Amino acid sequence: MKSFSSSSFTGQHADALALAHAAVKRHPQALFTDFQWFLYQGRDTVFFTAFSTESYDKDGLANMVAEMVALAPQLTHGFVGAEPGQPFPKHMLDAITSVEMVDEFDGYPDKWLSKSTDIFERDDLPLFRVMAAVRRGGPDGEGRAAVLQVRSSHALLEGSDSALLTRSAAAGHGVQSNKSNKLPLLDRIKSALRGGMTAFIYLVLANILAPKEQPWGFKTLAIERHRLRLLANKLGVRQRSLMFALVTHALNGEGAEKLMSKKVIGAAYTMLDTKRNNTDDDFFRVRALEAKFRVMDDFVDYVRAVDNTVAGIEQKDITSFQVVIMAMFKAMRTLNRLIPALPNKRFWRFNGGMHIVLTLVPPHRTYGPMTHGMIEPLYCGAWHAAVNICTFCPGRDYVTLNFSMEQRHIDNAEKILKLLDEVEARDVTPHTMMPSVERLR
């Protein structure tokens, strides 16, 4: 996993906060980049949840929100009446925090996970919520006194923000694109044309091919990191290649009845890259890549093929897919200004044939007052309309797999642990490890 940072590039938007109040009076989302706008329009959401040895009450949650806002001032953006960078009044804190008493933690955190549509029900409240469930009888046998969850519009937070906040570190965003690293003019023109054409084709196909809304499910799994480390070394592959392979192979199913594909699984996966350019988004640090994993029945062959695919993609230019995506977001936002009814509901129900999105967030390691008392495993995930997502969240001792996907795939999630057991027990032929094998720090 590459290192990550909250640092940003200087540029013409460095004084954005000075103009923020005037901007949000014109439109609540005026400060959003095209990427932020797209995620807001799609009502995409993210969550972080963890058990804690500490208890919580409304005042405690209000103090936590104040700390979060100080570290991540973007949480004060995007709603009617927003005062960017300013603390929230008490009535607003009361509206976005909640505490409930429970007898046991059976079923948590999965029973809490949802699309989080309530975040968008009122346009005059911040685009995030903080909630806690406190055990009525005090700490249980594992020392857990409460479970906490933070839910937010994805337009405000990404995986690296969650990782930084978990460490009680600043997660504010400056200008994330590097204006001095300019792509060639011809490349930018080509990408803009491709982005505009992609938006048009996507919109047309969505209105023709968009399926009905599917039953949706959420689930989490926790796997000890040492198991993944030992098995990756045994197989001679990157740890993330192993995780990608475990999830896609298990979810796709066995035999002739494949749920995703019988031939090739289309996947998008995300990574952080410090080699930014002037076409990158000014808010998000994450970069998306596109991959195709050829389906194989034997898992060992499959995971090594996945590892070769990942290595091949990242040895090439990894900016092209991201540049087109950014251009598509810009085209869709421009179209929306001209025709507010677009993109329509059918657009958001169409995933373009992508089977799954695999997101590996930076390591989450608790440190400082923000996460005092929180214990592993730590859970972090996302919901995007009509997109099957598995978010991998590494901590010190565990990696959690956080699923948001069609219910038919959720039903196969338990097979991942069974597959892991089976492969660990196999007598695998030694395999030469590829250079620069990635490790989760």
Same domain for 248 and 310, yes or no, is: yes
Same domain for 217 and 308, yes or no, is: yes
Same domain for 252 and 134, yes or no, is: no
Nearest Cα to Cα of residue 82 among 153, 160, 134: 153
Domain CATH code at residue 360: 3.30.559.30
Give a yes or no: residue 433 inside a domain. no
Give a yes or no: residue 409 inside a domain. yes
Domain count, the chain: 2
Same domain for 207 and 278, yes or no, is: yes
Give a yes or no: residue 140 inside a domain. yes
Same domain for 318 and 196, yes or no, is: yes
pLDDT in tens, 420-433: 999 999 998 866 55
Cα angle 358, 384, 339 (rounded to 5 degrees) comes to 130
Give a yes or no: residue 366 inside a domain. yes
Give a yes or no: residue 178 inside a domain. no
Domain CATH code at residue 154: 3.30.559.10
Give a yes or no: residue 351 inside a domain. yes
Same domain for 156 and 258, yes or no, is: no
Question: Of 137, 166, 195, which marks where a domain is finished?
Answer: 166
pLDDT at 274: 64
Same domain for 146 and 239, yes or no, is: no
Same domain for 190 and 154, yes or no, is: no
State which residues form the domain around 199. 185-425
pLDDT exceeds 90 at position 8:
no
pLDDT in tens, 316-349: 766 677 888 889 999 999 999 999 999 999 999 9
pLDDT at 318: 63
Phi, psi of 292 (to 5 degrees): -130, 120
pLDDT in tens, 112-138: 999 999 999 999 999 999 999 999 999
Give a yes or no: residue 173 inside a domain. no
Give a yes or no: residue 175 inside a domain. no
Give the per-residue SS3 of the chain.
Answer: CCCCCCCCECCCCCCHHHHHHHHHHHCCCCCCCHHHHHHHHCCCEEEEEEEECCCCCHHHHHHHHHHHHHHCHHHHCCCCCCCCCCCCCHHHHHHHEEEEEECCCCCCCHHHCCCCHHHHCCCCCCCEEEEEEEECCCCCCCCCCEEEEEEEECCCCCHHHHHHHHCCCCCCCCECCCCCCCCCHHHHHHHHHHHHHHHHHHHHHHHHHCCCCCCEEEEEEEEEHHHHHHHHHHHCCCHHHHHHHHHHHHHHCCCCCCCCCCCEEEEEEEEECCCCCCCCCCCCCEEEEEEEEECCCCHHHHHHHHHHHHHHHHCCCCCHHHHHHHHHHHHHHHHHHHCCCCCCHHHHCCCCCCCEEEEECCCCCCCCHHHCCEEEEEEEEEEECCECEEEEEECCCEEEEEEEEEHHHHCCCCHHHHHHHHHHHCCCCCCCCCCCCCCCC
pLDDT exceeds 70 at position 23:
no
pLDDT at 5: 52
Same domain for 377 and 341, yes or no, is: yes
What is the separation of C-alpha 165 from the centre of its chain, rounded to a whole number of angstroms? 15
**Structure confidence at residue 33 as a pLDDT band (50, 70, 90):** very high
Question: Of 111, 132, 166, which marks where a domain is finished?
Answer: 166
Question: Of 166, 196, 226, which marks where a domain is finished?
Answer: 166
Same domain for 316 and 418, yes or no, is: yes
pLDDT at 294: 97
pTM exceeds 0.75: yes
pLDDT at 180: 77
Q: What's the average model confidence in pLDDT over 400-428?
A: 95
pLDDT at 231: 97
Same domain for 238 and 331, yes or no, is: yes
Q: What's the average model confidence in pLDDT over 384-408?
A: 97
Report the share of the chain in percent with pLDDT over 70: 90
Instruction: State how far the alpha carbon of 93 is from the alpha carbons of 129, 171, 323, 372, in Å.
Output: 9, 20, 38, 21
Same domain for 107 and 210, yes or no, is: no
**Structure confidence at residue 436 as a pLDDT band (50, 70, 90):** very low
pLDDT exceeds 60 at position 439:
no
